[in-house]
Amino acid sequence: MKTTTTILPQLFLRLALSISYLSAVADRFGLWGAPGSPGVSWGNWQNFLAYSNSVNGFLPPSLGNILAAVATALEVILPVLLLIGYKTRLASVASGILLLLFAVAMTISFGIKAPLNYSVWTAAAASFLLSVLPIYPYSIDQAVTSNR
């Protein structure tokens, strides 16, 4: 794969994954608007917890609440790493695993159509694809590598 042909697509992919994660986190803290507002999925943490527990309905709610908090922390940390391009390979693999787990949980709880409708499988695959690219231009990783 020629690295010159992947410069902009890898940057676009890093930005798209990052913004998608951060948008979902913003929604669960009401930054996109109140519950019931157009385009708002949750609008607050309580609604997000209820949704998270329905996705993980095969687990006890107490464990579901912990998973919601852990997922939210990862959905803040991973996109920041992807956005600035620091530890990009590790962050993209972790992103792929997180999205894969989410897709599997959605499939178990709601059937295969839900993760397909929300492109969760696609986002997981995109994360894994990002992890195998040879370089990450416009990133801290590239700056560190160039200075060696």
Give the model's pLDDT for residue 97.
Answer: 99
Cα distance between residue 68 and residue 84, in whole Å:
25
* Domain ranges (residues) in the chain: 15-146
Task: Tell me: pLDDT of 4 over 80.
Answer: no
- When mean pLDDT is compared across 3-12, 52-61, 63-72, 79-88, the lowest value belongs to 3-12
Average pLDDT over residues 5-14: 93
Closest CA to 13 of 118, 145, 146, 131: 131
Q: pTM for this one?
A: 0.93
Decide if 138 contacts 85 (C-beta within 8 A): yes
Contact 105, 55 (CB under 8 A): yes
Percent of the chain beyond pLDDT 70?
97
For 89-119, write each residue's pLDDT tens digit. 999 999 999 999 999 999 999 999 999 999 9
Q: Which of 7, 147, 10 is nearest to 92 (CA)?
A: 10
What is the structure's pLDDT at 3? 62
